[in-house]
């Protein structure tokens, strides 16, 4: 991976993130959760930001990854590292399965409905396959991964393991985005008809993007299950998917680094607002709405700009929103 200015700033962000997380156990816990979220959000950025396929079912793949590891380790005694590749295969299979009915849909609300419905189907499967998944009771006592005689049961050690996986996933996504495959994905987002006119089989590449995003979500699930130690179907329904999409949008839907920034921001923001007690969720919603309204390109759009440029950008955005409101009112 070429260390350009953008990647250098991402490395600096992750380094500062690790340093801050090491201060106390509570920050380490939140940072580990933010890292797992960031891995999952990378899949959303790849499929929604670069390929233009709105995916509201990413948490379903996180759940598939989590349950595969949990079932294999708790019920059948396999190690984390043996369950890991099996989980990737299962997630890729379900990603392809979800991509097939979306082939004729060129983004938009219909695709969003298909992906959300798929997430609900996975939820129902988890609930009804009680013999394997524990049904509504979930699975408890998921063991930590270990290498040799070392077990990642220490919170800081597990956090560093998650950081390693985040770096690997970022590198893989970066390679995809900056390859010929990434150009095809971007072309589908800009104009699928134009891609087809060049003889490109867009259906094949759309299914591939679903499969890659599913595998990345599965990696996040693999890490989430041992970290929490208990999983249930409710943890992977539509609300977590909406939260992951919000992270991608707030950070910057068209930027891998922006997705990571959004995951860190929206994982820590609710905790920072706990001082406001019962107004926490209201303030959280207002802040997210404000960011979406004023920074449609996400937080990453502020990168490289001076304070005066940021003020000008926000001023222009507010004026644009005001003019749009006045136009609507006059109609």
Q: pLDDT tens across 112-124, in order?
A: 788 888 888 999 9
Spatial separation of the C-alpha atoms in residues 169 and 36, rounded to whole Å: 11
pLDDT tens per residue across span 151-188: 898 888 898 899 899 989 999 999 999 998 889 988 88
> Global pTM?
0.89
pLDDT tens per residue across span 194-240: 888 888 888 888 889 999 999 999 999 999 999 999 999 989 988 88
- Express the helix, strand and coil content of the chain in percent, nearest 5 each: 80, 0, 20
pLDDT tens per residue across span 87-104: 999 999 999 988 887 666
Spatial separation of the C-alpha atoms in residues 40 and 222, rounded to whole Å: 11
Tally DSSP H helices, then E strands, for the chain. 14, 4
* CATH architecture label of 5-276: Orthogonal Bundle (1.10)
């Amino acid at each position: 991976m070429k260390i350009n200015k953008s990647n250098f700033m991402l490395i600096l962000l992750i380094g500062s993130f690790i340093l801050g997380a090491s201060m106390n156990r509570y920050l380490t816990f939140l940072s580990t959760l933010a890292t797992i979220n960031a891995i999952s959000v990378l899949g959303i950025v790849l499929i929604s930001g670069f390929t233009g396929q709105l995916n509201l079912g990413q948490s379903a793949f996180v759940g598939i990854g989590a349950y595969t590891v949990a079932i294999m380790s708790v019920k059948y005694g396999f190690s984390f590292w043996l369950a890991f590749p099996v989980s990737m295969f299962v997630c890729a299979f379900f990603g392809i399965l979800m991509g097939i009915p979306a082939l004729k849909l060129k983004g938009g609300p219909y695709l969003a409905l298909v992906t959300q419905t798929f997430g609900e189907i996975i939820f129902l499967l988890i609930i009804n396959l009680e013999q394997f998944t524990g049904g509504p009771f979930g699975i408890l006592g998921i063991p930590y991964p270990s290498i040799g005689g070392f077990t990642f049961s220490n919170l800081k050690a597990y956090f560093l393991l998650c950081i390693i996986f985040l770096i690997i996933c970022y590198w893989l996504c970066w390679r995809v985005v900056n390859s010929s495959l990434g150009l095809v994905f971007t072309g589908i987002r800009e104009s699928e008809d134009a891609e087809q006119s060049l003889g490109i089989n867009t259906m094949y590449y759309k299914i591939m993007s679903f499969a890659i995003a599913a595998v990345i979500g599965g990696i996040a699930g693999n890490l989430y299950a041992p970290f929490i130690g208990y999983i249930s179907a409710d943890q992977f329904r539509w609300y977590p998917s909406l939260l992951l999409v919000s992270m991608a949008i707030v950070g910057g839907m068209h930027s891998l680094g922006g997705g990571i920034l959004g995951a860190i921001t929206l994982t820590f923001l609710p905790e920072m607002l706990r001082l406001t007690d019962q107004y926490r969720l209201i303030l959280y919603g207002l802040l997210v709405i404000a960011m979406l309204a004023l920074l449609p390109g996400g937080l990453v759009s502020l990168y490289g700009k001076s304070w005066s440029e940021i003020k000008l950008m926000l001023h222009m955005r507010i004026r644009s929103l005001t003019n749009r409101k006045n136009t609507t009112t006059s109609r």
